[in-house]
Amino acid sequence: MDEAALGRDWSIRSGGEDDFPAVVETVGEALVVSDDRATSLARLTPLLAEDDFGRLLVAIESGRSERDAEDERAVRDGRVIGSVNAFSFRMTLPGGSRPVAGITGVGVWPTRRRQGVLTALIRRQLADIRDRGENLAILWASEGSIYGRFGYGPANSEYKGELAYAHARLRPDAPRGADLSVELVRASRARSDLERVHAAATARQVGRLQRSPAFWERALADTPDARAGRSSLKAAVVHGPEGPLGYALHRTRDRWENANPCARLHVEEAVATTPKAWTALYEHLFSRDLVTQLVFESMAQDDPLHFLLADPKRLVTRFDDSLWVRLVDVPGALAERSYAVPADVVLEVSDRHAPWNEGRWRLRADRNGATCERTSRAPDLSLDVSHLGAVHLGANTLSGYLRTGLITEHTPGSVFGLDTALFRPEAPFCDQGF
């Protein structure tokens, strides 16, 4: 249903499949996407179709321009100048699997920036997410300065790793299993094994998303665009007596220098469910002839390779931020989370884009569960909703924000106590971009 005009000549409304080509054009231009728009449309349509395009929001401007002069629908109904979208995911969080909104397709046409379009879209989206009963929104940020002001916090860090084959050796005491075997096949032929391993890992590791059929199709895509000059996608699958226990999706790129081989092996995804399976997986990757360099596209902060290598210093890593998290419903998100130790703290939360979160909340938690309710008690801690998002997965702490004066501690020790309660021993990890 259309909203009243939020600007002089534009308004926000729900979108649909008919709007999607214009959305791809708008977002592609906003994000400086080099792909041909038809290619982007073909790649994205199956993903959005899983939700029947039901979470698409568009900003519509009335009138005609050169850009839409040949688009009769745009002339009749107005043209898309901005959009936001979301996927309906289930994510493993401290406390279990929960529904979350995976924010995607955010963009405003370049000549319509700085006019309040994005703010209006995101505020409407937050209200819609809350109405759906999802307490969290997550995203991969193109620019951190954009999403911090909308209440998102950087909640996780991951790494890209490179390892010269000359140093690709594991510790002699790495756990090994004589009953394990590794098979190398085209990735598409191993899909059932991959799905089984991924589901088992997702159930245990915070940050992972349950992968839908359309996202599996994307993960296993083997088109020329996906290959980017590299080989077809292969899967090295570790099997034990009880079935598949791990896999690595990878491609190779052949190179020769001075008549000598110097090929690279690019690991796009590596997953295992037992220590011995990790060892078997890495030893297979380390055994390829003609390869001189291994590239791991995405690794958790505590990836097993950091601990299994004979010389961990030889693994060259490059930091990258990963998921950004926003508490759409503060009491709901805090109450559904698990905590390492008991906590009883009053939080004074500011949230300029989701006013229902503003105010004081008393969080009481122990090993049996948690409650978070409005209170008139004096606050122990004052902070922005973005700070809560940054620590929600357990990878970060509030202490850094306190030291820099970005949050206010009214009761000494309340930050330390809450950080301790939020702590998770294992680093979160998300292997699915969106």
Closest CA to 215 of 319, 102, 321, 306: 102
Can you spell out the DSSP letters for 345-400? EEEEEE-SS-GGG-EEEEEEEETTEEEEEE--SPPSEEEEHHHHHHHTTSSS-SHH
Contact in structure between 264 and 291 (CB atoms under 8 Å): yes
Active-site annotation holder among 20, 247, 339, 434: 434
| Exposure b/e, 404-416, CB count within 10 A at least 16 = b | eeebebeeeebbe
CA distance 204 to 275: 14
- The amino acid that residue 82 corresponds to is G
Helices within 16-114 (DSSP H only): 20-30, 37-49, 72-77
- The tokens describing 264, both together, are 């690279």
CA dihedral 312, 313, 314, 320 (to 10 degrees): 90
- The tokens describing 214, both together, are 């359309």
Contact in structure between 145 and 418 (CB atoms under 8 Å): no
> In sequence order, what are the residues at sequence separation of 6 or more whose Cβ sits closer than 8 angstroms to the Cβ of residue 271?
197, 198, 201, 246, 247, 248, 431
State yes or no: is 434 an active-site residue: yes
Active-site annotation holder among 20, 53, 147, 401: 147
CA distance 186 to 99: 32
Q: Which residue bears the tokens 């950080």? A: 419
- The tokens describing 206, both together, are 């915070």
SS3 state at 76: helix
Closest CA to 396 of 205, 96, 153: 153
CA distance 138 to 140: 7
Question: Residue 299: enclosing H or E segment and its boundaries?
Answer: strand 291-300
CA distance 88 to 63: 33
Rounded to 5°, the CA angle 299-215-12 comes to 105
Residues known to be catalytic: 147, 434
